[in-house]
C-alpha cells in the first residue's frame, strides 16, 4: 500500500513538472504552419499563436531562421517571449535573396507613411523579444518615409512591468524602441542597428529601467540591404536616445554615430546614471539636457564628438543638474559646453579641441546657474571658460590649461578660482 501511495505521489509530482508550470513551455511556429520565406502575410497567424501560448500560461515562441512577412501589428501578450535564433545582434548582406538570410528576420510593411499607426510589436507585462532582426524592405535610404515604432508598449495594456528587448538588430526602423507609455522595469540589452528618426525613447517610467550595450550606426543598414547610407537624413533628424520621465534609469555602454542629437533629456525629468556612453559626429549636440529631476544626470566615462560645422555645442544644458566625470570631448566643434541654467559639474575631464573657426569661442560658456570644473585638462590654447553675468556660483580649481589667459569672468556671484596649472608657464 505504501509503495502504491509513493508511486501515485511521484506521478503527480512529475505531472506538475511537465504540465503545471506552463511558463517554461516551448513552442515552435513551424508546428502551427507558419513557414518562413513564403512571402505570405503572417500577422494573423502569429497573433493567433501568441494568444494560444498566453492562454496556456505563457512560454517561449520560437521562430526558426528565415524571413517572416508582417503586414500589420503583433501583440506580444503577458508572459510570452518571441525568440529568434541569434544570441547576439547580427548584421550581414541581405541582397533580397531568401537563401542568403542568416537568422530570424521580420520583414515589416505596415504603417508606411503613418508613424502614429500601430507599432510592429506591442509589449505587455513580462513579455519580451529576443534574437531577431527587424527590416523594412520598402524603406529607401534616398527617400525616407515615416513608419510606426518597431517595438513599443501596447496601448491596450493598463499597467506594464518587466518588459525586455535583447539581442535584436534594428536594420532600418524610422523609430526603433518607444517605451513612452506608463511602465516600470524595462530592460533593453544588446540592440544594434540604424534607426532613422529615433533610436530609443523612454518616458513614463516610474521604477528603475535598464539599457545596456546599444549601438546605432548607418552601417547596419548598409551591411544588410542598402547600396547607400542615409547619412544626410540621420544628421538632420535622428535623436539616438530620448529620456523623458524616468526614475533611476541605468544606462551602460551605449553609442550613436551620425545623429542630429546623441542623447536628449526632455523637460519631463529623468534621473539616473549613464556609464560608458558615447556619441560621435553629431550635427547639433551630443548631449542636450532640457531639464532633470533633482537627483540629476550622472555621466561617467563618456566620449562625445560633434561634427564639423555643427549647429550647437557638444553639451547643451538648458536646466537641471548634470554631473559629468572622467569623460573626453574632441572633434572639430566650435563649443564644447553651453550652460543656460542649472548645476553643471565637469570633473577629471579631457577637453581636446574647440573653437574650430578660431573666432575666440570658449570651450565652456556658462550663461547662468552654477558651474564646477575641477581636475580637468584643456589641451588647446585660448579661451577655455566664459562665466556670464547671470552665473550664481562657479568653482574652477585644480585644472591644467594650455594658456594662462584661460577665463573671462563677468559674474557678480560667488566665483572661486585656484590651484590651476598652465602649460605655457613651463620652463624650456
Mean pLDDT of 100-122: 93
Q: 390 falls in which pLDDT band (50, 70, 90)?
A: very high
Q: Is the pLDDT of residue 95 over 70?
A: no
pLDDT tens for each residue of 154-193: 999 988 999 999 999 999 999 999 999 999 999 999 999 9
The C-alpha atoms of residue 193 and residue 77 are separated, in whole angstroms, by 25
Q: 227 falls in which pLDDT band (50, 70, 90)?
A: low
pLDDT for position 101: 63
Torsion-angle region of 356 (φ positive above 0: left; ψ -120 to 50: alpha; else: beta)? alpha
pLDDT for position 210: 99
All residues at 6 or more sequence positions from 159 whose CB lies less than 8 Å from its CB, including other chains: 125, 182, 183
Average model confidence (pLDDT) across the chain? 91
Q: Which residue has the higher pLDDT, 106 or 98?
A: 106
* Of 318, 215, 205, the residue nearest 271 (C-alpha): 205
pLDDT for position 102: 78
Q: 226 falls in which pLDDT band (50, 70, 90)?
A: low
pLDDT for position 145: 98
Q: Is the pLDDT of residue 7 over 80?
A: no
Mean pLDDT of 356-382: 97
pLDDT for position 222: 75
Mean pLDDT of 389-408: 96
pLDDT for position 306: 94
* In contact, 305 and 328? CB cutoff 8 Å: no
pLDDT tens for each residue of 347-365: 999 999 999 999 999 999 9
Of the CA atoms within 13 Å of residue 236, those in its CB half-sphere come to 5
pLDDT tens for each residue of 18-45: 334 444 599 999 999 999 999 999 999 9
Mean pLDDT of 288-293: 98
Calculate what percentage of the chain has a pLDDT beyond 70. 89
Domain boundaries defined on the chain: 269-427
The C-alpha atoms of residue 417 and residue 398 are separated, in whole angstroms, by 9
pLDDT tens for each residue of 190-213: 999 999 999 999 999 999 999 999
pLDDT for position 91: 64
Residue pointed to by grid coordinates 515604432: 149
> All 3 cell numbers of residue 408?
573671462
Q: 327 falls in which pLDDT band (50, 70, 90)?
A: very high
Q: 219 falls in which pLDDT band (50, 70, 90)?
A: confident
pLDDT for position 14: 43
The backbone torsions φ and ψ at residue 187, rounded to the nearest 5 degrees and listed phi first, read -140, 115
Q: 221 falls in which pLDDT band (50, 70, 90)?
A: confident
Amino acid at each position: 500500500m505504501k509503495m502504491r501511495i509513493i508511486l501515485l505521489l511521484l506521478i503527480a509530482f512529475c505531472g506538475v513538472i511537465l504540465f503545471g508550470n506552463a511558463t517554461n513551455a516551448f513552442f515552435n511556429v513551424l508546428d502551427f504552419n507558419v513557414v518562413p520565406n513564403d512571402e505570405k502575410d503572417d500577422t494573423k497567424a502569429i497573433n493567433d499563436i501568441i494568444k494560444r501560448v498566453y492562454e496556456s500560461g505563457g512560454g517561449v515562441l520560437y521562430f526558426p531562421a528565415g524571413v517572416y512577412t508582417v503586414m500589420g501589428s503583433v501583440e506580444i501578450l503577458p508572459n510570452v517571449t518571441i525568440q529568434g535564433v541569434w544570441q547576439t545582434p547580427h548584421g550581414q548582406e541581405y541582397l533580397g535573396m531568401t537563401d542568403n538570410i542568416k537568422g530570424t528576420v521580420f520583414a515589416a510593411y505596415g504603417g508606411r507613411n503613418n508613424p502614429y499607426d500601430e507599432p510592429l510589436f506591442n509589449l505587455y507585462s513580462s513579455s519580451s523579444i529576443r534574437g531577431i532582426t527587424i527590416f523594412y524592405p520598402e524603406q529607401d535610404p534616398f527617400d525616407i518615409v515615416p513608419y510606426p515604432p518597431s517595438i513599443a508598449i501596447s496601448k491596450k495594456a493598463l499597467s506594464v512591468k518587466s518588459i525586455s528587448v535583447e539581442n535584436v538588430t534594428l536594420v532600418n526602423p524610422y523609430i526603433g524602441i518607444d517605451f513612452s507609455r506608463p511602465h516600470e522595469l524595462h530592460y533593453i540589452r544588446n540592440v544594434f542597428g540604424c534607426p532613422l528618426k529615433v533610436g530609443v525613447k523612454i518616458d513614463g517610467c516610474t521604477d528603475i529601467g535598464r539599457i545596456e550595450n546599444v549601438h546605432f550606426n548607418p552601417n547596419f543598414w548598409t551591411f544588410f540591404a542598402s547600396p547607400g547610407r542615409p547619412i544626410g537624413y540621420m544628421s538632420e533628424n535622428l535623436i539616438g536616445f530620448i529620456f523623458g520621465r524616468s526614475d533611476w534609469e541605468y544606462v551602460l555602454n551605449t553609442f550613436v554615430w551620425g545623429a542630429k542629437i546623441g542623447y536628449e533629456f526632455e523637460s519631463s525629468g529623468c534621473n539616473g546614471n549613464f556609464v560608458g556612453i558615447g556619441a560621435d559626429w553629431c550635427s547639433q549636440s551630443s548631449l542636450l539636457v532640457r531639464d532633470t529631476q533633482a537627483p540629476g544626470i550622472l555621466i561617467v566615462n563618456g566620449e562625445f564628438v560633434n561634427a564639423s560645422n555643427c549647429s550647437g555645442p557638444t553639451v547643451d544644458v538648458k536646466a537641471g543638474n548634470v554631473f559629468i566625470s572622467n569623460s573626453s570631448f574632441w572633434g572639430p566643434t566650435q563649443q564644447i559646453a553651453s550652460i543656460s541654467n542649472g548645476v553643471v559639474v565637469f570633473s577629471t575631464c579631457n577637453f581636446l579641441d574647440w573653437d574650430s573657426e578660431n573666432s575666440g569661442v570658449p570651450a565652456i560658456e556658462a550663461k547662468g546657474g552654477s558651474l564646477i570644473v575641477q581636475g580637468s585638462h584643456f589641451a588647446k590654447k585660448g579661451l577655455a571658460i566664459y562665466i556670464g553675468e547671470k552665473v550664481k556660483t562657479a568653482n574652477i580649481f585644480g585644472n591644467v590649461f594650455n594658456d594662462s589667459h584661460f577665463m573671462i569672468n563677468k559674474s557678480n556671484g560667488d566665483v572661486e578660482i585656484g590651484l590651476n596649472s598652465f602649460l605655457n608657464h613651463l620652463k624650456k
